[in-house]
Each structure stands twice: as structure tokens, then as C-alpha cells.
Structure 1
Amino acid sequence: MVTKMEQFATWLINTYPLSEERNRVLLKGALQLFRQGNVIHAFEDGTSITGKVQDNGHRHVLLDMDIHELSRCSCGADSLCIHQLATFLSFWSQTRTIASLIEKWKEATPHTASGPSPLFQKKKVDSYSDASLASWLDFVDHQHDQYKRSIPSTRTYLTGLTHAFFPKLRLLAPKKAEVRPLFLLHASLFCMQEVMKSYDSSQPYQYIVDILHRFVDVIEEEAKGLFHSAIAFQLDTLLKESREMIRHMLLGQKEPFIREVFYAYQFVWNDVFQRRNWMSSELKELEGDQSLQAELAKTHLLFLQKKDDDALHIVKKHAHQYAPYVFNWLQALANSKAKDRLDTWLQTSLPIVTTYIHDEPTYERKRQLTKHLLKLLTDYALETKHDAMYIEAMKSLMPYSYGEYEWYLFETKKYRKWVELQLWMGFELSGLETYKIKEIKKADPYALFPLYHIAIQQAIGQRNKSSYKEATSLLKALHSLYKKEKLEDVWVEYILQIKEGTKRLRSFQEELKKGRFTYD
């Protein structure tokens, strides 16, 4: 089925043939705006494409894909202008390559009285050229059409995409070791786009995200496979087209899937495009675009260039909105043991990340992110021998960090702080691990006094025979701790206060006598 975008492209090609000089100038100007990143927004809105172009001020564009003559631009042009065409190029690049459009445009002949030629009619594509990204995408698109026709029900579509369609593409991928990973990388990006298109209210969001992450994992793997061959001269054209396509896929992506597409962008820049030293020119392409997607891309490129001050300036500007993305940069620095850089990033981003975790909607999610962050910080502390940030994070992430903080205090023999933590959490002495209590009794008996005092008061407060017996048993244990600390005079004062405060509780007074707590 021919899409409205393809219908508009057919009209465009037949109405503005490149055999005329003025149309070639129009295309050249639009391409320049597009490649310089001057198209800030381009998205579909019903039967229209709307966009904003930076060209001596902002130009607002509306392209009507049904009634082409109703298209307009705030520059005042009464026919197709460079801003309208640049907006369409940007929108087209989100799912196709610019090279494929221009190739069809060049091949086309001017329309005749018989009407426009069906340039974008679906055709069988049973093979592809190893050296043509456009032919790869046409081939994958054709295979996808065949797959959709073969499934018995749309309910099996997404499952089959990962378990049937993509495995088939693996079998049909080029055999050349230099080209094969790039083909599979683009096949994965294609699948991601199809998965995102299928998302609606009937599909659980997390289910869609899990499927997307499977393809993101493939992209990461294939990007690593391209690491050495990325500098090969024969891949130069393919990589340039890929870089353009992936950038525009990210810039055109809407919520709620910006994160997944950005991860894909990160992985290809980590291992593929960075090898061609294209980071400076990519930053120029993104210049002037203040969208979240563009800002994320700029931050990652600055991060790869080790321009941490510039990268962190953007992080601070976006703060909470950036928090989910910061984990990957911190993890990358931890993995590479870049201690000084990690320290710089943590100083800026730790407050942002901890606030974000507290704002997450569920305890499970808060705990999951806390565990992930503290694992990263544990490795950092072990490597640098500095645990100040680790401790600060544990404190600020309470109660979700209780497990790590409790263990840290016990293992570092900070027993009094360990007891303070139990009291803050409201835990009772009887619920704490016996071996830890025994260890603290040996090392620092005084630390346990507050836990025993509270436990005794709680037992007395229950006002029944069994609880009074429990209270006297706890008093005996506490007495032994007072003796160890050589505080017998303080103990006598304490037990007299207990006796005075409970003199109306006859049953408890009897238990005190049985326990020989007589200090008159």
C-alpha cells in the first residue's frame, strides 16, 4: 500500500522535475538547510506535515499531503519553497534515506497528460546490492510486506517480528564480513520503527519497550562488529548515508520511545561513526536544534570527545529530564575506569539522579534504580578508595538503599550508626540478625543500649504475663552489657526508674523479683 508520504513524493517529483534548472536550485537549497540541521521539527499531524525551519528567523511550514496546493510557509512563497522541501526531506529521512528519494527523482521523467507515474508503487524486491543502503531498505521493506501477509493474525505480529522475521533477515544478510553487521544494524532499526508504529492503547507499554530493547541489543552487538571495518574506504558512502538516517530517525522520534532510539544512536557513535572522526561535523548538523533529542545527541558527542564541562552544562540545563540518560554515561566511565572524569560527572549528576529515583512511581522501580546506581558507585569507591559519594548516595536514597547502607555500616564496624539506622527504620531488636547482634555485643556493647531500652519498653507496654517475662529476659541481657561497659552505677539508676515507673504493674514487679532486680 502506497503511503501518503510516498504519494506526496510522487507529486513532488512529477511537478518539479530536475530537468529544469530552477527545480535543481530549489532542491540544492533545501538539501543545504536539511543537512545543516536547520529543520528543527518535522512531524505528521493527521494528513499534514508540519515543521519549523531556521533560516533568517523561524519559518513555519505546513505540507498538505492530500491537497498539495494548500501547502504553505510563513516565508510567503506562493509555490513550493526551500523551507517546505527541507521539511519534507527531514520527514522522509525518518523512515527512508534521502539518497533513495533523490535517486528516484533523477530517474523520473516529467509527467505527461496521462497523469503521474506510480514511482512509489510497491514492487517486488527479491535482491539487493551490497553497496546500496537504499536497496537494503527496499529489500527489508519487501520482506516485511511478505511477512505481514503470511501471519494468521495481527496478534502474532510482534512476537513473529523477533522470532521469525528478523531471524530470516539474518539468513538473507550479506556474507561479506565488512558489510553484514551494517545491514543487520539497519534491519534492526527498521524493526524498531515497525514496533513503535504498532504501539497503541491495546498494547502494554512495557511489552513494547522490552521488544525494542531486543533490537537495541542487536544494534549494540552489530556496532561492535563494525568497530574495525568502520574505517574501511569501501564503506564510506554507506556509513555517511547511515549517519544521516540515524540522526534524523532520532531527531524525528517522539515520546514515549526517544530513550530507545537514543540508545541506538549512542551505540553506533561509540563504535562506528567515531572511527571516522565525524563528531565535529555531526555537532554542526545539530547546531541550533534545542529539542531534547538533539540535546542528547550533542551531549553524547561531547562526552565522546571528553569535553565534560560542555556536556555537563547541557545536563544541568535539562536536569530531571536528563536523569534517565545519565546512567549510561556514568556506567561507561566506570567501565573504562576513568576515575577523574567519573568524579566530575558524579558531582553534577548525583543530585539529579537521586531526585529522579525518588520521583519514580513504584517502590520496585525505585529499588531497581537504586541498586543499579549503588552497584556502579561501589565499583567506583573500590577503585578510587574514596567512598564519600557512595555514602552520600546511600543516605539520600533511603529507604530504598537500606540493604546496601545497613551492610556497609556493619562491614565497616560503624555499629552505632548501624543501630541508629535500625531505629530510624523502626525495626525491633527481635527482628534483627542474631549474628550481627552477637558481633556488636563483643565489639561495642554500648551501641546496643538504645535497641534494648526500646525493646524493654515495648514488652512492658503489652501488659501481659508473657511480655513481662520477655522484658525481664531483655533486662538480664542489657545488664550484662552495662557490666561490660563498667556502668553498674548507671544501671542501678536505670532499673530503679523502671521499678518506679511500673510499680502499679504487680505482675511485672513479681517478674522483677524473680529476676532478682532488687536495688533498694
Structure 2
Amino acid sequence: MSAYFLLDEQRLRSMETKLAEVMPISMLERGWDYYRREKVLSVQVMDGASIYGAVRGADIYAVTLDGDDFGFSACTCPFNGFCKHMAAVYFAYCAYAGESPDEVYNRLLYGGGLIPAEDGGTPAAGRLPVPETPIPPADWAEEMEGLYGETWRQCRHSLHPLQSVLTSLKGSSKTWDPELRRMHWMLATLFVAEQAERAYSMTDTYSRYYYEMAFARMTEPWLDAFHEMAAELRPSELSETAREAVRSLNQFFHDRDMDREHQLHRWEALYFSLWAKLTVDPAWSGPEKERLERRLNEAKAAGRQSFFYPMALAFVAFIEGRDEKAIVLLRETDFNKTALLACDCALQRLEEGGWTALADWMGYLYEGLRIERKSRAFGPFLNMCRFADERQPENPVWQRYLVSFLPYSYSVLTDHWVQKGQFGEWADLQLLLGIEPDEIDAQLSREVTKQAPHALLPLYHQAIDTAIRARNRQGYRHAVKLMKKLEKLYKALKQTGRWTRYVDGIVRKHQRLRALQEELWRGKIIR
């Protein structure tokens, strides 16, 4: 991108300052929404001084942002003043110029990292004031709902409107005490995630898979940030206000229906991320366990099947080292809904080297996966079997698990045996499943050829016999092609005598197949 097509730094900073001074908050927010919804059709710089853009609204409007005198900026829309289309074009230009639109939006709306006015006067006006004293944590969720509780209705095809909500909520508390700011950001993340759930619940059955993939990609970085912030909690160092904020976070989970069907996110994982830090403190874990048990008993009394409360109690038991009790609790639930938690617990025990507990968790998973092959826990289970066998090779159960799930475990088992140098077992597996040498991944084939070329010999023998049994010219040609590669293997192994005897055997065995004899001659296998 040529510098000619960009505003110079001084003019850009001046434009941002003027924009912050004259643009109403409502227009900035609506302009941000237009930008996120990709309403800006084009943006360009003319003569290095002004930004021109086109925005799709009720009609297509032309926008001019004058870099020399912002007061001459204009838009062809009916609104008389500085409008949302101007703001949208400015955000689009920032993205075009390589700046972060999110950071620019925060600066304009909340004053963080403000660009001083050229005359050294007061900072840009018209922004939301940052409260000196935050509102009580118990009121955070209610305030968020009041401000943005209907935003999910705008998310018909994308969650972009929620990005601006999250940015706004984070910006409103960015000058707070770091401890409280972290709690507020965590609750803001839960709030927008729940908004995403509401949008997802309104999708039709036929489009649900597409929306699940698209929405999940959008929310993934938000949830990752939540887990990271939760990992930074220090329960013993929390102030009373921060403890109130934690209670507000926990209440958010208890207020929503955690047993809801067709959820976009793993809400139990978010809950566990918070409680992994809190449960080590009896002052937190004691009351929470009582609450969970009470809720579970209420569900049973009402005849409702709950998977969240047994799972939550199982997680607490796991953290306390009572793995057997945790597994008993999980057996009360639908395996498909709790299997990923079991995977998380098993992985932690694997990393710790807790082999006895790991065996219990893997046994539980194995029992469930024998019935529920389509469970999302299947892949993690196979990988954990592989890692466990690498760290505890003397225990045969890990490979037995892998073998028992053939052919579904073929890929994992194949890579595992090659990595461990078990080429005999690897070759037997290929023979068992009728895998031809040409069907093996090229990189894997090179690895085996380099380390154990002898393991490939029986594969070629079997493939050649299969091709000849086709009893047609195409099969014979394929057999000759395989024999040429086999010849190279025998020569690399310096076993030309065995190669000669093998060819003689093929010729004698199939001497009545004239077409085969012709193809062997044409391929110079025999002379």
C-alpha cells in the first residue's frame, strides 16, 4: 500500500481528535456497529488529505472526511450533522491503514490513550465518564442486561454486534482497580457468551451446524480470555469487594439453565475454570458443595434429569483428590454430556503421573466410548492412550485400548507405532486392513522406508497378489508397477537373490496367465 494512499500521521491524529470532540456517543456506537456488520462498501484517500467512503444504510451514502478541516466533512444521508456513516468510514479506514479498529473505538468512546488536542487544551469531550467508584458487583449483571440485553436480536448471521458490546463493557471498567477490573471483564465475557447462546437458540434446525461453527469461532477468543483471567485469581488475596464480585460471577452460573439442550459453549468448563481456583479454600468450597447438593436434590424431587449438578460435584471431588467419588457421580449422568469433563480429569492425572487414578478415569471413558463412538471425547481418549503408553510403556492396557477401537483408531495407532519403532506391529496392522503401499501417507512411507524398509516387503507381496487375482489387464499392470518399487526395496536391502527367487515364483505360479507374462516382459521384470 503506497503512502500516497494514506493520511500522514499528523493529519490522522488531528482527525481522530476532532472526531472525538464532535461525534455524539450514540453515533460512535452505531458507526462501530455498521463497521462490524461490514456496511462500509469502500474506503479510499484522495490527495493524501481526505477520506472518501461508501456506506450501505437505507440507501448507499457517500461520505467525505476532510483531513484539513473536519468541519467540512459531509455525508449524503438525511441526518443533519456528524452521523454514524462517518464514524463507520473512519473505523474502516483505520483497518485499511493497519491500525486496530478496536483500539481506536476504545480511545474515541472512553478516552483511554487519548490523543491530545493540537492546542494543548482539554482532551476530547463527549465520552462516557469513568466512575470513580464502581457500582456494587451485585448490580453488574443487571446493569449489563439493562444496557445490552437485546443485542442478541441483531445477531442474525454474525456475532459482530456482540464484539462491540464486549468492547464497551470492558472499556467502562478499564480504569478500575485491576482486581475488580478482572472480575468485571470476566462477567462481561459471560454476559456476551449468554447473548450468543440466545442468538444460537433462534437458528433453525437446518442451519444450526453452520451457525454453530461460525459462532464458536467468533466466541473462542472471548472464552480463552475468560480462562486466562480465571487462572490469575488468588482467592486468599481478594478484598471484600472482590469477593462480592466472585459471588456475582458464581451467581451468574446458578441463575442460568446449565442443563439446557443444544448449547453453543461448554458452560460447565467456564464454571470449572472459576472453581478450580476457589475450591481449594474451604470458605468457598463448603457453601458451594451444599448449594450444589441442594440443587441436585431439588432436581431429583421434581423428576428432572440434571447433568450439571452431578458433574459440578464430581469436579469438586476430583479437585479434592476423591477420584472414585467423582466417577460415581458422573455415572449418574448422560455419558455424552459429561465425557469431556472426564477427559479433562484424566489428562490432568496423566500430566501428574497419577497412574492409579488415570486408570480409573480411562476405564470409565472406555466403557462409555464402546457404546457412544460419536462422542466428542473419542479423539482425546485415543490421544491420551498414546501419551500414556509413551510414559508407561510397561502397561499393556494403553495399546489394548487403541487396538480395540480399530478401525476408528487406525490413524492414531499407525502414527504411534511408527514413532515408537514398532514396525512389525505397524506392518501387521496394514496387512490386516488390506492397506496397499500406495495408500500410505507419503511422508509416513518415506519414514518407514528409511528406518525399516523390511517392514514394507509383506505389504508389497500382499498388494501384488491382490492385483494379480483381479484377472484383468489393468490388474496385471498395477502388479508390475508395484513389483518395480519392490525391486528397489530388495536392492536397497542388498537382497537381490531373494528378489530373483520371488520373481521366479510369480512366473511359475501364474505361468498360464499369458497377459500377466506379457506385462512382466513389457515392464522388464523378466527378460
TM-score, normalisation: structure 2: 0.59
Aligned equivalent of 1:440: 452
Are 1:186 and 2:190 matched, yes or no? no
Aligned equivalent of 1:285: 291
Structure-to-structure mapping, 1:462-473, within 5 angstroms: 463-464=472-473, 466-467=477-478, 469-470=480-481, 473=484
Aligned equivalent of 1:422: 430
Q: Percent identity?
A: 15
> How far off is 1:487 after superposition?
8.3
Aligned equivalent of 1:45: none
Asked if structure 2 preserves the Cα contact closer than 8 Å seen for 1:262 and 1:297, the reply is: yes
Are 1:141 and 2:145 matched, yes or no? yes
TM-score, normalisation: structure 1: 0.60
Partner Cα separation in structure 1 for residue 486 and residue 261 of structure 2:
61
Asked if structure 1 preserves the Cα contact closer than 8 Å seen for 2:315 and 2:326, the reply is: yes
Root-mean-square deviation over aligned CA pairs:
4.2
- In the superposition, relative to structure 1, how do residues 195 and 451 fare at CA in structure 2: closer, same or farther (>3 Å)? same
> How far off is 1:300 after superposition?
1.0
- Structure 2: gaps of 5 or more residues: 1-127, 301-305
Are 1:449 and 2:449 matched, yes or no? no
> How far off is 1:268 after superposition?
1.0
Task: Identify the match of residue 311 of structure 2 among 289, 296, 305.
Answer: 296
Greater relative contact order structure (CA < 8 Å, 6+ sep): 1
Deviates more, 1:385-394 or 1:262-271: 385-394
- In the superposition, relative to structure 1, how do residues 181 and 194 fare at CA in structure 2: closer, same or farther (>3 Å)? same
Aligned equivalent of 1:349: 365
Asked if structure 2 preserves the Cα contact closer than 8 Å seen for 1:315 and 1:322, the reply is: yes
> Aligned letter for 2:452?
I
Are 1:268 and 2:274 matched, yes or no? yes
Asked if structure 1 preserves the Cα contact closer than 8 Å seen for 2:511 and 2:517, the reply is: yes
Structure-to-structure mapping, 1:333-372, within 5 angstroms: 333-353=349-369, 355-356=371-372, 358-359=373-374, 371-372=379-380
> How far off is 1:482 after superposition?
12
- Structure 1: gaps of 5 or more residues: 1-123, 361-365
Aligned equivalent of 1:177: 178
Task: Identify the match of residue 322 of structure 2 among 290, 303, 307.
Answer: 307
Partner Cα separation in structure 2 for residue 353 and residue 300 of structure 1:
20
**Cα deviations across residues 269-320 of structure 1 (Å, max 9, x unaligned)?**
0124544542233222222245112111111111111111110112233334
> Aligned letter for 2:190?
L
Partner Cα separation in structure 1 for residue 520 and residue 156 of structure 2:
72
Asked if structure 2 preserves the Cα contact closer than 8 Å seen for 1:223 and 1:267, the reply is: yes
**Cα deviations across residues 297-345 of structure 1 (Å, max 9, x unaligned)?**
1111111111111101122333344223322222333444544432332
- In the superposition, relative to structure 1, how do residues 280 and 516 fare at CA in structure 2: closer, same or farther (>3 Å)? closer
Asked if structure 2 preserves the Cα contact closer than 8 Å seen for 1:339 and 1:380, the reply is: no
3-state SS of the aligned residue for 1:399? coil
Partner Cα separation in structure 1 for residue 167 and residue 134 of structure 2:
19
Partner Cα separation in structure 2 for residue 418 and residue 390 of structure 1:
16
Aligned equivalent of 2:109: none
> Aligned letter for 1:283?
K
3-state SS of the aligned residue for 2:176? coil
3-state SS of the aligned residue for 1:279? helix
Aligned equivalent of 2:260: 254
Aligned length: 376
Partner Cα separation in structure 2 for residue 322 and residue 261 of structure 1:
12
Partner Cα separation in structure 1 for residue 348 and residue 451 of structure 2:
39
Partner Cα separation in structure 2 for residue 156 and residue 481 of structure 1:
59
Asked if structure 2 preserves the Cα contact closer than 8 Å seen for 1:230 and 1:272, the reply is: no
> How far off is 1:176 after superposition?
1.0
- In the superposition, relative to structure 1, how do residues 387 and 300 fare at CA in structure 2: closer, same or farther (>3 Å)? same
Partner Cα separation in structure 1 for residue 388 and residue 350 of structure 2:
6
> Aligned letter for 1:133?
P
Asked if structure 1 preserves the Cα contact closer than 8 Å seen for 2:155 and 2:161, the reply is: no
Aligned equivalent of 2:105: none
Task: Identify the match of residue 327 of structure 1 among 335, 343, 357.
Answer: 343
> How far off is 1:214 after superposition?
4.0
> How far off is 1:417 after superposition?
2.0
